[in-house]
Amino acid sequence: MRLQRRHGRRLGVGATLALGLLLGACAGHVGDMPVVGLPANTPARPAVAPDYLPVNDTPPPREQGVLSVEERAQLTRDLTAARERQHGTRATPSKARPSKLPSD
């Protein structure tokens, strides 16, 4: 009886390991499949992979500047109102807390 349990347990562990290895081997190729893989607007991969990571490539400067204090306050009010609408609660003006914005 004990021998059968041990044999069954070993068989289960072996099957689990084999399944893990099989799934791990397939993981690299799933992204290249046409149905499952990359979106249509993804740029093509280079023919030769670079030897190093592009650590010195910096993103272009932003066209839009940092939000002003008034814009941040308005954004905070809009987000708070949206959250209250989603939760179905509406804060009355007496219960509303002033927003604390980090100072520049």
Q: What is the DSSP letter of 10?
A: H
Helix then strand then coil, in percent of the chain rounded to 5, is: 45, 0, 55
Say if 58 falls within a structural domain.
Answer: no
Question: pLDDT tens, 40-90?
Answer: 788 888 888 777 777 888 888 888 889 999 999 999 999 999 999 998 866
Average pLDDT over residues 4-17: 78
pLDDT at 31: 58
How would you label 59-82 residue by residue, b for 16+ Cβ within 10 Å and e otherwise? eeeeeeeeeeeeeeeeeeeeeeee
Considering its fold, how many domains does the chain have in total? 1
pLDDT at 83: 93
Say if 43 falls within a structural domain.
Answer: no
Task: Write out the residue range of the structural domain in which residue 16 sits.
Answer: 1-26
CA dist., res. 96 & res. 79, Å (int): 14
In angstroms, the first-to-last Cα distance of the chain is 74
- pLDDT averaged over every residue in the chain: 76
Q: What's the predicted TM-score (pTM) here?
A: 0.31
Say if 34 falls within a structural domain.
Answer: no
